[in-house]
Amino acid sequence: MLALQRLQLYGGPCLGDDEAAQLAVNCTALVSLQLQRCQALTATGVCSIIRHCPQLVELDVCGCPLVLEELVVSKAA
């Protein structure tokens, strides 16, 4: 069975932490994920992705104003 390895989602207020958590739980084979300009996404959602997607090597959260690198690092530790 093939699993989703790459995904690009752009923009809007629709993708937040709950949606990121569902994405992480259901797409554990992701290698590359781009979540650009997602205004409702925070470090909590990013950390959920990091925890559930062990094969992830590329994560782009460019333009997500609520995602601060320091918070992601502290929550993921």
Closest CA to 39 of 8, 66, 72, 69: 66
In the chain, where the domains are located: 6-76
Higher pLDDT, 68 or 15: 15
Whole-number pLDDT of residue 76: 60
Whole-number pLDDT of residue 13: 83
Higher pLDDT, 61 or 70: 61
Cβ 50 vs Cβ 21: under 8 Å: no
Cβ 48 vs Cβ 73: under 8 Å: no
Residue burial 20-30, b: 16+ Cβ < 10 Å; e: rest = bbebbeebeeb
C-alpha 36/C-alpha 62 separation (Å) is 5
Residue-wise pLDDT tens digits, 8-61: 999 778 899 999 999 999 999 999 999 999 999 999 999 999 999 999 999 999
